[in-house]
Amino acid sequence: MIVVHIISTLNIGGAENVVVQLANKQVEYCKVAIVTLRRTTNDKNYMARLHSEIEHIELDWKSKYSLNQLWQLNKLINKMAPDVIHVHLHNPFYYVFALSSFKRKIKYIHTVHSSFDNWRKVLAIIHKLRFLNNSILHVTLSPTISKSIQKEFPKLRITTVANGIQSHIPHREKEEIKYFWNGFDISPRAGFRFLAIGNISGNKNYRLLALSFKALAKEYPEVMCIQVGSPTDKALTQELKEINASNVFLAGPISNAADLLTEADALVISSVQEGMPIVALEAMSMGVPIITTPAGGMPDIVNTATGLIANDFEVTSFKSTLTKFIQLSQNKKRALGTSARRLFKEKYDITIAEEHYKIHYELE
């Protein structure tokens, strides 16, 4: 079997991480290639993690949409003659959808790495065109997202494969991680430490995070939260600074940020849109509880045994959820972490995800 993954780049990102880990497992039993449409230029990327037997082809495209680029990809696919094309993210999907309209002998898999809201407009168009081409199997990362798509677009071919990764093993020494936290700490270690990981963007909803922790500080002055990620939305970053939550620290981008979870009491996710974020799986693999909004697939991976979910996206609700976690006994907090690690091993290890994809590759 020849499997070709198509994605924009291999720069740092959740989908990119999954593609590399999945390909590294698949190369054990079949020929695997990864085609990236643009050059991977970011210094922080997954290139070094690729198995040596995986062929990586960079097309170095300059335009977002181009018939010439579609023709170039078509010639490449003819040369590679894959049995399966597995496409990831928006821009590559448009090109693969076009190819799937006339290359009918290839099996097509499309992983929806984010929330349904991010794909609603695209899937609406695909649903209307299904009489001409309905050859792509759309794979969501959670049952909740699958149900939402099936309800609105019942004729599309939809299934679910839970996201999967390897257990996260910290790259940093314990003393380095402690030093990082102590550089921000506002109280003795008896205080509560929360970590938020993700670039500052609208979907991550860090405004909710900042307002909730600012309100929380009035009752629990020893509680703190560090946000790690690039300030991609400048206006939002400025707004967070103006909110001026004294217990929320913007640490900027940090490589292997999940390492910092070893000194955190919980991972906090304030998003309005999510698929099944890698950082949540990393936390689970490390036995760290998760406090989250009910965004996207989060209710499918966080339950009362592994963390806490806010009722909605309001400050009152999110602050109440944080307060509830703070008030739990130490035994209960440890039990949440233990259950999270157990659930990860049962459902979210990369080996399990790879086995499910293999079934769809063979059955399609």
Alpha helices, DSSP H only, in the chain? 14-26, 67-80, 90-100, 116-128, 143-152, 174-182, 206-216, 234-243, 278-285, 298-301, 315-326, 330-343, 350-363
* In a shared domain, residues 131 and 185: no
Q: Residue 303: what pLDDT? A: 86
Asked if residue 178 and residue 129 are part of one domain, the reply reads no
What CATH number is attached to the domain comprising 184? 3.40.50.2000
Residue with tokens 């880990």: 21
Strands lying side by side in the sheet with 266-269: 248-252, 224-228, 193-197, 266-269, 290-292, 307-309
55 and 95 both lie in a single domain: yes
Question: By the 8 A CB rule, do 126 and 90 touch?
Answer: no
β-bridge pairing 55-58 and 107-112? unpaired
Burial class (CB in 10 A: 0-12, 13-18, 19+), 144: buried
Residues 137 and 197 in one domain: no
Here the contacts of 337-343 (C-beta below 8 Å, separation 24 or greater) are: 337/287, 337/288, 337/289, 338/287, 339/305, 339/306, 340/283, 340/284, 340/287, 340/288, 340/289, 340/290, 340/306, 340/307, 341/284, 341/285, 341/286, 341/287, 343/284, 343/301, 343/305, 343/306
pLDDT at 191: 75
Q: Which residues pair with 110 in a beta bridge?
A: 87, 138
Closest CA to 360 of 111, 6, 81, 56: 111
Which are the contacts of 170, defined by CB distance < 8 A and separation ≥ 6?
177, 256, 258, 259, 262
Residue closest to 177 by CA, chosen among 322, 281, 288: 288
Residues 283 and 313 in one domain: yes
Backbone region of residue 244 per phi and psi (left: phi > 0; alpha: psi in -120 to 50; beta: other values): left
Q: Dihedral sign, CA of 90, 95, 100, 106?
A: negative
Q: Report whether 300 contacts 274 (CB < 8 A).
A: no
Same domain (yes/no): 354, 342: no
Which residue ranges in the chain fall short of pLDDT 70?
A: 187-190, 364
Per-residue confidence (pLDDT) for residue 188, from 0 to 100: 58
Domain identity same for 198 and 330: yes
Q: Assess whether 269 and 358 both reside in one domain.
A: no
User: In terms of domains, do 135 and 264 share one?
Assistant: no
Structurally, the chain folds into a number of domains equal to 2
pLDDT of 73 reads: 98
The token pair at 154 is 């019942």
The answer to whether 134 touches 156, Cβ cutoff 8 Å, is yes
Full DSSP string of 81-149: --SEEEEESHHHHHHHHHHHTT-TTSEEEEEE-S-HHHHHHHHHHHHHTTTT---EEEEESSHHHHHHH
Q: Determine the structural domain holding residue 52 and report its residue range.
A: 2-165+349-363
Q: Assess whether 30 and 98 both reside in one domain.
A: yes
Name the 3-class secondary structure at 200. Answer: coil
Give the CA distances from residue 32 to residues 54, 68, 86, 131, in Å, rounded to whole numbers and listed in that order.
5, 25, 11, 31
Looking at the structure, tell me whether residues 44 and 56 fall in a common domain.
yes
**3-state class (DSSP) for residue 356:** helix
Residues 198, 332 within the same domain:
yes
180-192 burial code (b ≥16 CB/10 A, e <16):
bbeeebeeeeebb
Residues 95 and 89: beta-carbon distance below 8 Å: no
List the end-to-end C-alpha distance of the chain, in Å, as a whole number.
Answer: 13
